[in-house]
Amino acid sequence: MKKMRIGVLTGGGDCPGLNAAIKWIVYGANYHNSSGKLKKPIEILAIKEGWEGILMLDPKKGVKDERYIQTLTSPVVRRIDRDGGTAIGTSRTNPFAMKQRRGPKKDLSAMVARNMEILGLDALIAIGGEDTLGVANKLHQRYDIPVVGIPKTIDLDLPGTEYSLGFDSAVNNIKVLVDRARTVAGSHRKTAVVEVMGRHSGFLALSGGIVSSAHFILIPEYPFAIADLEALIRDRMHLKSRYTLIVVAEGATERGGQFVARRKVTDAFGHIHLGGIGEILADQIEARTGLDTFAEKLGYLQRGGDPSAYDVKMGFCFGTTAVGLIVNKEFGKMVAVQGGAITAVPLSVLNGTTRVVNVDLMYDRQRLNVRRDSSMNWLVWSGESRR
């Protein structure tokens, strides 16, 4: 019997919760297979290494190209939801701007459509952030490729959804790591500056700062004045506080300043690798106050490790819903959370403005910290603002 063949890939940065989504895509397909309502049973194929896998596929081998293709069954995925990262690999490949050894970047997107035909794919589920899902949206619009997206980003910055896979796990990791920095700072009477991820959105810094009781939180949405931060730290000195803990997003900037980038080279999607604001800030604080100050950049550690229970649950919700969208032929959509409910929105929503912290609602500009008089639902983060 001919099967409905669905491909699944993960693209961009890894994070906890991806494997849960992959598992429940397979289990969701099995549920529909057992319902007796489908004309063709569903088969799930993993496209390994993100968009790279479908581009670098050997056309002569097709589904037998084990470098990039793997059939996913219940026994294969049964235990993977317990692990972080992605069991099928990932990459930052952009089919619309592939780097060449010589010459300018080349648009190889037509190869995706061709190779989907070679693999006999009836639909594709892409799990990723703005870049991976942006590619999925372009493929759907240009080639009418039947795609469905699942949101994944620890930055929580995708428009159209209140939650993305990996965010809760990353906040849990931040709490653990910041608590370790706190014990050092408290023991040695130091000021600790902990840098977390967050290019344009401060949700990760704000949540991580809340759960670790940071004294100050610096976010991209509100450029800070170093003089204001110095004054707040000196207030703590007058109170004879033993230590100070600062959480800063990698995209935070000093008023009138620019992003701090570790490397000027851009990736396949034109992004500069941010990082280093924590060290610069620590040097400025020590020079201005004389306090012994150190910086820690959490980097990849905050998106590593096992998934939280919440991300495992959301992997279930997103994975099963994505399969349902394909069964109902609702292509060109992204699974989303809105008003706390699972729904779906057009992938074209990603053409909109990046989701950022509503400074008026959530942030105390005077205290450089989260507002303490807000009645909003912190679990949903429903308040958005536009930049």
Residues 268 and 328 in one domain: no
Residues 89 and 136 in one domain: yes
Give the CATH number, domain containing residue 250: 3.40.50.460
Question: For residue 209, which amino acid is it?
Answer: G
CA gap 329, 290 in Å, rounded: 63
Return the pLDDT at 103: 78
Residues 105 and 80 in one domain: yes
Q: Is 292 exposed, middle or buried (CB count within 10 Å of its CB: 0-12, 13-18, 19+)? A: middle
Return the pLDDT at 95: 95
Question: For residue 97, which amino acid is it?
Answer: A
* pTM of the full structure: 0.93
Residues 281 and 326 in one domain: no
**pLDDT tops 90 at residue 378:** no
CA gap 350, 305 in Å, rounded: 28
Give the CATH number, domain containing residue 35: 3.40.50.450
- The count of structural domains within the chain is 2
Residues 270 and 339 in one domain: no
> pLDDT digit string (tens) for 327-355?
999 999 999 999 999 999 999 999 989 99
Return the pLDDT at 379: 43
Question: For residue 27, which amino acid is it?
Answer: Y
**pLDDT tops 70 at residue 83:** yes
Return the pLDDT at 377: 45
Residues 73 and 205 in one domain: no
Residues 159 and 286 in one domain: no
Considering 122, 155, 157, 311, which one is annotated as catalytic?
Answer: 155
Residues 173 and 288 in one domain: yes
Distances in Å between the alpha carbon of 380 and those of 95, 170, 277? Answer: 34, 16, 28
Residues 66 and 193 in one domain: no
Residues 222 and 121 in one domain: no
Residues 62 and 204 in one domain: no
Residue 20, H or E segment:
helix 18-35
> pLDDT digit string (tens) for 235-287?
999 989 999 999 999 999 999 876 666 666 666 665 666 668 999 999 999 99
Known active-site residue 155: yes
> pLDDT digit string (tens) for 163-217?
999 999 999 999 999 999 999 999 999 999 999 999 899 999 999 999 999 999 9
Host domain of residue 319: 4-165+307-351
Residues 289 and 343 in one domain: no
**pLDDT tops 60 at residue 375:** no
